[in-house]
Chains A and B, each alone.
Chain A
Amino acid sequence: MLDRIERIRDEGRAAIAAAADAAAVEEARVRYLGRKAELTTILRGIGELPAAERGPVGKAGNEVRRELEGLVEEAAARHERSELDRRLAAEAIDVTLPGTPPVRLGHLHPLTRTRREIEDIFIGLGYRIAEGPEVEHDYYNFTALNHPPGHPARMLQDTFYVDPASLGDGVELYGSDGAPLTAPPGPRDVLLRTHTSPMQVRAMEDAEPPIFIIVPGRVYRRDSDATHTPMFSQVEGLAVGDGITLADLHGTLLTFARAVFGEERDVRIRPHFFPFTEPSVEVDVSCFRCGGSGELDRERCGLCKGTGWLEILGAGMVDPNVFGFVRDRGYDPDHVQGFAFGMGIERIAMLKHGVPDLRMFFENDVRMLEQFR
């Protein structure tokens, strides 16, 4: 009997090993482990054996059954896997075809990106962001910024004026002296702001020093040619507090210029004139294309026109006359001091990204927009 079991074991092992596919494995299982299999019959009839044989036969029979069961299971799994492999191999695709993104990626406008970059630099320096009206009173755009009525500095900027007849009923209007208008408004009382600077005064009217804000936004000048568009965007900065100096302005703008144009950059400050700052300066950053040498591949650098410098903004110490307009809000001109600056976002974006023409920003050609991720 034990010999039979040994023979069944050998036959079973061989049959399972020889099975070429899942069906042959199943066939072998039925043959050696099925209800009618020889081994099953032996084990079922074990009780009829002499008592002395029962133990050894039962032990051997069960061992063989377990072994064969294991082999069948293993073989079945093996064949199942290879059949899956075959089926999947038939499902081959061209992996070099383009994928299907959940959505096409869109793009922020380069002016938005540049504006946010500027904003983030100043946020890091402790500034908050303020917004202000684009349709503005003469008072905030000029008078309170130390451009008295009739002052030639008003001529520096070609101003768009708003037709007073087109304003809504019941709108509160103010004269160039800041007092509420009692008579109907004149053609020069309401205008499109020519700079973001009016927010200097508005912000100081609302909050006592110290004040650290930047003001991004659209501004308008009546000018249209290759280097001027009647609408463009600026970022204004205002820092007023204890003992803020012109040297602090220098350091702030140096930090800014390096953050935007690279750590190796330098800035250069030139005295200038703005009615609402004193002293006033213009600020140049060393050219990032030629490294400030003015030369590129032994030719004149086209970006800085050989000067080594790129003008990026105007700035200065807030003129005491401007503080005079907000004296009662905690800005005593004899005691507070601070600086202000203003820059064109288009100018920064053009320099940084090599955009050759200001007008391209407002054409919104998708082929241009797509270049800015």
Chain B
Amino acid sequence: MKAPLTWLRSYCDPGLEAAALAERLSMTGTEVERVGRVGAPSGDGFVIGRVLAAEPHPNADRLRVCTVDAGQGESRTIVCGAPNVAAGQTVAVALPGAVLADGTKLRKAKLRGVESAGMILSEAEMEVGDDADGIVVLDGAGAGPGTALADVIAIAETVLDLEITPNRPDCLGIYGIARELHAITGAALAPAPWGDDAEPTGTDGVAALASVAVEVPELCPRFTARAFTDVIVGPSPLWLKARLTAAGQRPINNVVDITNYVMLLTGQPLHAFDLDLVPGGEIIVRTAAPGERMTTLDGVERSLDGESVVVCDRSGPTGLAGIMGGQVSEVSEGTTRVLLEVATWDGVNILRTSNLLALRSEASTRFEKQLHPDLAMRAQRVAAKLMVELCGARLAPGTIDVDSRPRSMDPLTVGYRPERADALLGMRIAPDRAGEYLDRLGFAVESDAGGALEVTVPADRRFDVVREIDLIEEVARVHGLDEHLPATLPGGGAVGGLARHQRLLRRIEDLLRDAGLDEAVTWSFVDRDRGGVPGLAERSPVSLHNPLSEEQAVMRTDLVGGLLAVAARNLAHGTDRVALFESGRAYLPERAPTGAAPLRGGFAGSRPAPVAEPHRIAAVLAGVGGRAGWRADDRPVDFYDAKGIVELVAAALGVDVGFAPTRRAFLHPARAAAVRVGGSGAGWVGELHPQLLERIGARSGAALELDLEPLLAGSAAGEEIYEDVTTHPAVAEDIAVVGDADLDAGTIRAAVLEAGGELLESAEVFDVYAGEQVPAGKRSLALRLAFRAPDRTLTDAEVEPLRARIVAALEATGARLRG
């Protein structure tokens, strides 16, 4: 909402500079986004002048050489290009030195050989209107040459650009803002502009000229109409154009300008019909037939649905209720009879239709916030006076008033208990102060003996202030929160802290960081094709109904896709080794778990989430592997680099993870493994497919993605129980096992552990050999076995039978002990 300062001050002038005024408004809840300006930076150098003579320019057909009395004691020569300049006119003059609206400083200048000592101004040059073709003629302004132009017209207007919150439609009108200024500063408030009404001088009563039938009273709580005859449509006077222009509205003609002006002043939108274009003067308010079409004032033909409300004449829609008028009955230069509609609409319905048609207007942004029916007659009265004054119109006696307001719009009285306010705010506000603040805001206040207040809400605030808490807010903000509110801390002594899963999640993130990975945060939404990474799109995603772009059309079902894109970008920048991880959610179109399982997507609340949101960790290593620096080995990244990260995480959590060959379209088909914890899948790890490597511009790469829930579920980290391993130390023994090259280490190790039984504490592979010492097609694995019993130191005699069982088990897998 743009509030020109001179307009605002005409109703309430606290005597503050614009900046101080803006500060006071901002600190009481009406945020000033900008203090702007329309017109010149200041009124200095702008005066009224009288054209004494206007002669043809000797060297230019289109220019006139004017002699102007600008009150400086002598007349001056001004060269002017306007076709309408003529001797005898009172005009607006900018003298050399004046700074114009566009920021240029006016100087004496020779125009085609004639020196010009000033400039005669047009509306557009003064930014008081949009007419740029001719100069402004101020005959009848009653001001003599030399008078400061600013005394006659607002040529250097300061405009407050206010952010009005949706609960305050009253501040979408200048008088409402003035009332707010009055409340927060105590400065006097001028009487409301709707106090007086126009004198009806028309011959026929309004009932003879028009009729209104409201078929949908629940969507139209009030419809008022007045009729005007003998209307002379023409341009508005300059003061009106100036106010509209400063408030950001384009002047059109006096009738339309009056409707806009009254809306800006009162906050209540109005609509003017050319009554001669409404057959029989019959207005019908109804809902549209589904698919019904009408052309709005902006020239767009719109298709309506069955809930859209239309204002119709006999032949069809003539306006889209509360949003925009129709072209059919638009006021034009030939209009002589006007029907002025001021209605109240159902806000929810207006918002709905406005959203449906993607059509927002000054009217709809006000109506959607629900205006009170009492506002309608205020606007009728202000408009009627202006119609008479500015358009020479005669007001037809009477007003059509179809008032169907429901009981929920009846006057409301709310109690205010000072002790309740104090207990909520944590500060004391004296009851009489509270009463004073509410009174200034326009509330009717009565206090009872106990200090409690009975407060009647004014129509302007009827839907915003309905409870005691709302009154408390009004009192507190006018009182001044920043100035008076103490800063205390809540009592109660709650114990803060991280939950176990949050602690472990941080541990894992820190671990990955310290293992040399950089954390990335990538978009939750991705393109349907998942960046073209093979296989990812096989997982059906949660799709957005209204995405911003195709690149962000569906929710991600994996984390690796985003990381691959980030890796590619960084490699393209010239980074030679990329190691990235992300800790975040995937979004899967599945039932979310119930109960507390936040890492799986089970959250607090009585209603489970609409989709499953498992928390995952993913990593991508790409480019050069191995060690960096001057001792770099420049080896490629391989499977074991990524698997090492999985094992690091598992080790930090104290979880046993298993690996089994698997396939993913984007991974090397023979170098990928599924990760398992206990019996369930927990993700995957693998080398990137060579074709994918080529696409992301990496010479080698590996990746992993883990579901955190199964990992953490299997973790005893932080809850370990001491185990005595020193009293009876383990007996270590190394064995070398030769088997077929494709007999995997996991199978061998599992066979060894199984055969070793309880006393075999661990069996770790510490060397792998294939070459001359073993037959072709075979390989040798060296395992370190540790045998231990908790209650005794094992003897050779005890270990020997275990060793024999292990050998037998190995042979069953096709392997044997070497040497």
Contacts and interface: CB of A to CB of B under 8 A. Distances in A.
Contact of A166 (B486, B490, B542, B591): B542
Contact of B31 (A150, A272, A279): A272
Contacts of B167: 153, 273
Interface string B663-683: 000000000000000000000
Interface stretch (A23-31, A59-67, A74-82, A95-103): A95-103
A15 interface: no
A247 interface: yes
Contact of B29 (A112, A254, A273): A273
Contacts of B732: none
A172 B154 CA distance: 62
A171 B591 contact: yes
B194 interface: no
A250 B488 CA distance: 7
Nearest to A131: B598
B208 interface: no
A123 B544 contact: no
Contacts of B607: 137, 139-140, 172, 174, 178
A361 B490 contact: no
A246 B485 contact: yes
A112 B521 contact: yes
A363 B485 CA distance: 42
A261 interface: no
Interface string B477-489: 1000110011111
B423 A245 contact: yes
Interface centre among B473, B497, B514 (most CB of A within 10 A): B473
Contacts of A192: 524, 544
Given A106-B514, A132-B604, A220-B524, A167 B589 contact: yes
Given A100-B631, A109-B521, A156 B166 contact: yes
Interface residues of B, number: 112
Interface in B469-527: 469-470, 472-473, 476-477, 481-482, 485-499, 502, 506, 509-510, 512-525
A142 B601 CA distance: 21
Contacts of B552: 230
B727 interface: no
A108 B423 contact: no
Nearest to B581: A106
Contacts of A160: 544-547
A112 B519 contact: yes
A369 B502 CA distance: 23
B351 A255 contact: no
A347 to B, nearest CB: 15
Interface string B536-572: 0000111111111000101100000000001001100
A144 to B, nearest CB: 10
A104 B628 contact: yes
B481 A129 contact: no
A369 to B, nearest CB: 5
A185 B540 CA distance: 19
Contacts of A243: 423, 491
B5 interface: no
B424 A245 contact: yes
B352 to A, nearest CB: 6
In the A-B complex, the 6 residue pairs with the closest CB atoms: A247-B426, A245-B426, A202-B605, A150-B348, A271-B29, A133-B609
10 contacts: A105-B514, A108-B510, A126-B496, A172-B607, A241-B492, A243-B423, A248-B489, A270-B482, A273-B167, A369-B519
Interface of B: 26-29, 31, 165-168, 347-349, 351-352, 355, 368-369, 423-427, 467, 469-470, 472-473, 476-477, 481-482, 485-499, 502, 506, 509-510, 512-525, 540-548, 552, 554-555, 566, 569-570, 573, 575, 578-581, 583-585, 587-592, 598, 601, 603-613, 627-631
Given A106-B519, A254-B487, A369-B519, 17 more contacts: A104-B628, A106-B579, A130-B603, A136-B609, A151-B348, A155-B368, A167-B611, A171-B592, A199-B604, A202-B604, A241-B494, A251-B487, A270-B29, A278-B473, A282-B31, A362-B521, A365-B573
